[in-house]
A and B are shown apart, each in its own frame.
Chain A
């Protein structure tokens, strides 16, 4: 329950949720700042919806507390918290017109009819539904239904807006258009947005911060560039787009640089995340350089690999290579560059500067 127009902050403290013996959420703690756009990202079944329903008040946590603006709201029912929510599948009222759907939260609050009319009109304008006011939801396209759901959730100016995979049913173009619209609505309203998706590019594009979940555990939370460039574990690294993982042996740390043997070459990485005995060097495909047949570059890292496959993707081309030991390497290149390089046929030197690599703890076995 927040004042009109005032964005609220949320704090999740040690929240767990069990269904019978199944643990859907495990000791989650995170802070959501006022006006933030936080995305909950994770594969199917990782507990994103469950956390969102707990934030909204539809599910009670088995353990842990929830605070909003430093007030404990754990026991507060959903209708009193009254955060705006856009459900997976929209959950519009099928028997009410677009207008009545959007007016519903205001009517519930006994807003004066003239004020309702004004604010519903404003909202319809804002989400571009002019001319569709009298239609039933079933008569609208997916994108239009989505807009009604957004308008209905924002019209009463809630302190927090919760969105559960709002674009999963839309095609790619419409999806991008709606993403831009949601981003704009976030900027215009200044409301705190908590957004659920399993689409990593969507998460990176929209959010101020991303929280990555797997198996009911919070894996990492941070700005999009932080989680992408500096993943803390293998799950996060692999979930946020393609990455090359090179297992290192015989790890040494000297003056801030860690090094280890990969096949017959010693590779170097910044030592900040060098914890544990074994380790994996992670490097994104776009950070790799490639050179044909020349001697190994002197600075940074280099490994030798043979070409397996070329995937042309328009602006960029992806090269799939294989090292002598059989480890797969993927790298992406501007297509123009790739064409001239591929004349030579290989083998190639793959190289990258030390500070682009990232050392991940070896998976627990």
Chain B
């Protein structure tokens, strides 16, 4: 088969996928865009409101703050777990694999309620802390940003493990040996060779977690207890409680644009550094 024929055959195979993307995402998305400029009247008034409504702005700021903290926590945790998974002893590998895979079998709702049970003022952690006399009053661990961050980090951490572990697997052992052979101690090898050589995995993981986190709904709704509202929840509230379709749609579009912009920026800056293909 010539190159061109192969290319054409590839296109034919891609058609069903493209059709699916168009039907499942493209058309609904344009519907949302349409609402954002026609509800209740034609024009960009909803977008102007976005930049002026203090509630909307504060929710955007909070969302980004939470997502940033969650990304850092999830990626750091995932790095440690991926390290054990890829480079640990056989026992450590098994334990790590178990810890990575089990969360996928438990629904997001169950996990959120699990955290609620653990973190609430009469939950396990507070009861224990009080019983050992560490605190006298229960700590507020949930229905605030802290609870949301804990729940989201826990949910997203396994997703961050895969790109990091894959970068670690691709790393040639001989390069680490070379570094040691040239006189570097283990910590030096880790920081000057191992970490930089797995940076692509870390950045990939960070991008996945951050983008995923931006649209989170269930976890913040349950663990934030209405006090730590994020964008997705606000969109829901605007659409289904205030029946403010236009503003909800405008927020959705803005969120999507921000995500797209972030992804583009990341690729733009990572490509010259040879960190993404």
List A residues at the B interface (Cβ < 8 Å).
Answer: 56-58, 77-79, 82-85, 87-89, 91-95, 104-105, 108-109, 136, 138, 152-153, 156
Contact = CB atoms under 8 A, between A and B. Distances in A.
B274 A108 contact: no
Given A93-B193, A95-B196, A82 B181 contact: yes
Contacts of B186: 79
Contact of A152 (B172, B182, B185, B197): B182
Contacts, number: 69
Given A93-B193, A94-B197, A95-B196, A58 B184 contact: no
B184 A85 contact: no
A-B pairs, 7 with minimum CB distance: A105-B182, A91-B174, A91-B178, A82-B183, A85-B181, A108-B183, A87-B174
Given A58-B177, A93-B175, A108 B184 contact: yes
Q: What interface size band does chain B fall in?
A: 20 to 34
A7 to B, nearest CB: 17
Contacts of B183: 79, 82, 105, 108-109, 156
A121 to B, nearest CB: 18
B172 to A, nearest CB: 6
B181 A136 contact: no
A93 B179 contact: yes
Given A88-B174, A89-B174, A91-B175, A78 B181 contact: yes
Given A93-B175, A93-B193, A94-B197, A83 B184 contact: no
A79 B174 contact: no
Contacts of A105: 182-183
Nearest to A56: B181
Contacts of B196: 95
B87 interface: no
Interface in B112-131: none
B193 to A, nearest CB: 6
Contacts of A93: 175, 178-179, 193, 197
A85 B184 CA distance: 13
Contact of A156 (B175, B179, B182, B197): B182
A91 B172 contact: yes
Contacts of A83: 181
Given A88-B174, A108-B188, A78 B180 contact: yes
Contacts of B188: 108
Contacts of B172: 89, 91
Given A57-B181, A78-B177, A95-B274, 9 more contacts: A78-B180, A79-B181, A83-B181, A85-B181, A91-B177, A91-B178, A93-B175, A95-B196, A156-B182
Contacts of A108: 182-184, 188
A82 B274 contact: no
B178 A87 contact: yes
A135 to B, nearest CB: 12
28 contacts: A56-B181, A58-B177, A78-B177, A78-B180, A78-B181, A79-B181, A79-B183, A84-B182, A85-B181, A85-B182, A87-B174, A89-B174, A91-B172, A91-B174, A93-B178, A93-B193, A94-B197, A104-B179, A104-B184, A104-B192, A105-B183, A108-B182, A108-B184, A109-B183, A136-B274, A138-B274, A152-B182, A156-B183
B197 A95 contact: yes
Contacts of A79: 180-181, 183-186
A85 to B, nearest CB: 4
A45 to B, nearest CB: 18
Contact of A82 (B182, B192, B197, B199): B182
